Amino acid sequence: MKYFLGTVLIIFMFSCSNDGAIRNPYLQELGFRFDMNLNLPLYSGLTNLGSVVYIDNAGIGNRGVYVIKSGFDQLRAFEASCPNHIPNECSTMTLEGQNVTCSCEDYEYSLFTGQLLNRPDDGNRYYDMLEYRATQSGNVVIISN
């Protein structure tokens, strides 16, 4: 009986799995909440499809957050620090239309999907942008992690 219980315990220990998500080792996943009122001129552009706003307030992400209106009723928010190296003086990405570019290595990312567009084919692991939760209630958008 004790061998049976020991075997069952071992099976349970090794059968546990994660959700398949691979955490980015370069970016801290900081807890924050930021409310945006779309009636304010600073954020009013987010009422148009493809419009992007950069939020660089202290305590919002690692290096700020890019928010894009990616669909009729959908907003997406992404970390502004390049996900493929430790944050430093060149890692805050710059906006170019609906894409952002990291000046450290010229990596380019889509704000519609968060994907690295010019992923090197060298066998190394590269990360897409870190996405934050964006929920809209009326004219208020809550960005949080």
Higher pLDDT, 20 or 74: 74
Long-range contacts made by residues 47-51, C-beta under 8 angstroms, separation at least 24? 50/98
Whether residue 47 is contained in a domain is answered as yes
Looking at the domain assignment, is residue 14 inside a domain?
no
What are the tens digits of pLDDT across the range 28-68?
888 999 999 999 999 988 989 999 999 999 899 999 999 99
Biggest distance spanned by C-alpha atoms of the chain: 71
The pLDDT assigned to 4 comes to: 57
- The CATH number for 106's domain is 2.102.10.10
Asked if residue 11 is part of any domain, the answer here is no
The pLDDT, as a whole number, for residue 5 is 54
101 lies in which domain range? 27-144
SS3 47: helix
pTM for this prediction: 0.82
Asked, for residue 17, whether it belongs to a domain, the answer is no
12 within a domain of the structure (yes/no):
no
pLDDT class of 23 with cuts at 50, 70, 90: confident
Cβ count within 10 A of residue 139:
14
Say whether pLDDT at 18 is over 80: no
Question: For the residues 84-107, what does the mean pLDDT come to?
Answer: 93
Whether 67 maps to a domain, the answer reads yes
What is the per-residue DSSP string for 70-94? Answer: EETTEEEEEESB-TTS---TT-B-E
Residues 6 or more apart whose CB falls under 8 angstroms from that of 30 comprise 59, 61, 62, 145
Domain-embedded: residue 20: no
What total of structural domains would you count in the chain? 1
List Cα–Cα distances, 49 to 8, 69, 120, in angstroms.
54, 5, 30
Q: What is the mean pLDDT of residues 92-108?
A: 95
Instruction: Confirm whether 5 is domain-assigned.
Output: no
Give the separation between CA 40 and CA 30, rounded to whole angstroms: 26
Three-class SS of residue 74?
Answer: strand
Mean pLDDT rounded to a whole number for the chain: 87
pLDDT (tens digit per residue) in 123-140: 999 999 999 999 999 999
Helix locations, 1-145, DSSP H? 2-15
Q: What is the pLDDT of residue 7?
A: 56
